[in-house]
Amino acid sequence: MEKITGGEALLLSLIEENVDTIFGYPGGTIMPVYDEMYHYTHRIRHILARHEQGAVHAAQGYARVSGKTGVVIATSGPGATNITTGLADAMIDSTPLVCIVGQVGAPFLGTDAFQETDFIGISMPITKWSYQVTDAAEVSQAIAKAFYIAGSGRPGPVVIDFTKNAQVGRCDFRYQKCSFIRSYVPVPRVKEEEVAAAASAINEAKKPFALVGHGVELAGAEKELVALLEKADIPFGWTLLGKSVVAANHPLNMGMVGMHGSYAPNKKTNECDVLIAVGMRFDDRITSNLNAYARQAKVVHLEIDKAEISKNVKADFPVLASLKESLPLLTQAVAKAEHASWISSFKPYAEHELTKVVTPQLHPSSGDITMGEAVSLISKKADGKAILVTDVGQQQMVAARYFDVNLPRSVVTSGGLGTMGFGLPAAIGAKVAAPDREVALFVGDGGIQMTIQELGTIMQDDVGVKIVLLNNSFLGMVRQWQELFFGKRYVATPMVNPDFVKLAEAYGIRGRRVSERAELEAAADEMFAHKGAYLLEVAVQPEGNVFPMVPAGASLEEIRFE
């Protein structure tokens, strides 16, 4: 068999892993790989981002929607360091990525050569695994191992640091997928006694409440979860990343929990007698003050990552296993139940929120357009079938509250890291992963300008993303905190913005700005009727706030409505 270069071995390895799309940006030390790519464009699509951060966020969006591992290629030095934000984001949100970065030749390592950085040292704390390939013969084995680690157990990002000499060196190519690594146990074996104890606690519960997290989606266990909830008649709330696990219109769905979550599920967290956490990690944005969080409840925690068990909230009944395995066993073990009176007790809190927050936000009698009414109207046009992508900030929280999704893998947002600039490139990746579905991006005037150059990627690759820019001429979430907690001292939050519609048009993207309520519906219809990418800029309340809100460090009982 004729020997091939390490660069070609990389591409053949990716093909063996069924990779169909790469997001990347070329440069000097990765040039041999791109040269080999010339011969494989018919087998792998390359999306040229306008910045490496855009490439990694696009790969995240692709991975989150497709369920596959996203692939990124970048050059060394600044090319590699530009993906670090995406790596950190993917690590905390458990998104599977394989990121291949160029590196100077092995003889030059440690010499401060041009565009050399110790990217293994930089990336190690924010990846599941980082490995440097210095010989072409290592390539196929390293890639196989990378895909196994990135996609197995609790997923996450992996970095392969690829020296230039290994890219041009020659090797025999034989590929064998990896399915075992000694000392790495990605999926713990379920223990029947843990399932039995959890089932007993749920059977004894008079007021059970479930918290649904991103882990359910990662395990592909949406149907298994619904079977448990329906059999035991358990109302549930969801974390931001758990939004699309169960359809918005499910009768047991009580809404989002946490800092900007709904009143009823937040209140009932501190009233339930058994709290069932499913694939979530009790982030501080969910719990706020731990000393006042669900102290009355016995806690059942179904989780794949041992590090999350009792990390923040003590689990009385942990079930450490894949949700795909543990949920059916738990459903089999629990008794069929009925909790009608408990479920009906959520209603007064929901009605209070409807009066105090939802109605004024969705049906204002006068004044500027609110974020809520814009999101709600576009949600109705999408009819629960679109993929929701958001940036980070007020629009993120409003979209989470008022945009309905009824299909799995339909929410892409930056949860744990809260990365402004995430939205636009992530929407590109989401649309590439699901070209036949509408992708609705909600982004603010601050966040869009962090990665606005990715409009060029949309133009070049004809990516039909619907961009809804909610423009309040502020860094809105920071301004809200300045208003509520810093005496309205608006320092460094007012924004002087460009003409976004003209910018979009410069990239060949159709756009329209709306500032009058009467124009909003027609503009939304025009956006969805247009076949390609579209930017709808909506001028919204400059000083609108997102409520309810649990102030940082407060208890869930201290929720604010104004």
DSSP state of 153: S
Once rounded to an integer, what is the mean pLDDT over residues 375-395? 97
**Active-site choice (16, 108, 115, 460):** 115
Start-to-end Cα distance in the chain: 72
pLDDT of 42 higher than 80:
yes
108 annotated active-site: no
**Active-site choice (164, 207, 243, 267):** 164
Q: Are residues 332 and 383 located together in one domain of the fold? A: no
Q: Are residues 306 and 198 located together in one domain of the fold? A: yes
- For residue 72, being part of any structural domain is answered with yes
Residues 6+ apart with CB under 8 A from 348: none
- For residue 69, being part of any structural domain is answered with yes
Please provide the average confidence, as pLDDT, over all residues in the chain. 98
**Active-site choice (3, 114, 351, 505):** 114
Tokens of 9: 């071995």
For residue 377, what are the CA distances in angstroms to 237, 369, 370, 468, 470?
23, 11, 11, 12, 13
Query: Structurally, how many domains does the chain consist of?
Result: 3
Q: What is the pLDDT of residue 365?
A: 87
CB 394 within 8 A of CB 474: no
Phi-psi region of 136 (alpha: psi -120 to 50; beta: other; left: phi over 0): alpha
- For residue 251, being part of any structural domain is answered with yes
Q: Are residues 341 and 281 located together in one domain of the fold? A: yes
Once rounded to an integer, what is the mean pLDDT over residues 106-128? 97
Q: Are residues 318 and 261 located together in one domain of the fold? A: yes
**Active-site choice (8, 17, 52, 537):** 52
pLDDT of 382 higher than 90:
yes
Final residue belonging to a domain, choices 286, 314, 347: 347
Q: Are residues 207 and 302 located together in one domain of the fold? A: yes
209 annotated active-site: no
pLDDT of 228 higher than 90:
yes
52 annotated active-site: yes
Q: Are residues 400 and 534 located together in one domain of the fold? A: yes
Per residue in 496-547, pLDDT tens?
Answer: 999 999 999 999 999 999 999 999 999 999 999 999 999 999 999 999 999 9
- For residue 552, being part of any structural domain is answered with no
Confidence label for 1 from pLDDT (cuts 50, 70 and 90): low
Q: Are residues 97 and 215 located together in one domain of the fold? A: no
Q: What is the CATH number of the domain that holds 234?
A: 3.40.50.1220
Q: Are residues 167 and 205 located together in one domain of the fold? A: no
d(CA 143, CA 176): 10
- For residue 557, being part of any structural domain is answered with no
Q: What is the CATH number of the domain that holds 525?
A: 3.40.50.970
Q: Are residues 376 and 325 located together in one domain of the fold? A: no
- For residue 282, being part of any structural domain is answered with yes
420 annotated active-site: no
Per residue in 4-29, pLDDT tens?
Answer: 999 999 999 999 999 999 999 999 99
Q: Are residues 156 and 21 located together in one domain of the fold? A: yes
Domain that holds residue 456: 368-539
Q: Which residues pair with 202 in a beta bridge?
A: none
- For residue 497, being part of any structural domain is answered with yes
Residues 6+ apart with CB under 8 A from 542: 368, 472, 473, 474
Per residue in 154-166, pLDDT tens?
Answer: 999 999 999 999 9
Per residue in 176-190, pLDDT tens?
Answer: 999 999 999 999 999
- For residue 504, being part of any structural domain is answered with yes
Q: Are residues 245 and 338 located together in one domain of the fold? A: yes
Confidence label for 2 from pLDDT (cuts 50, 70 and 90): confident
Q: Are residues 148 and 101 located together in one domain of the fold? A: yes
**Percent of the chain, pLDDT > 90?**
99
Q: What is the pLDDT of residue 416?
A: 97
164 annotated active-site: yes
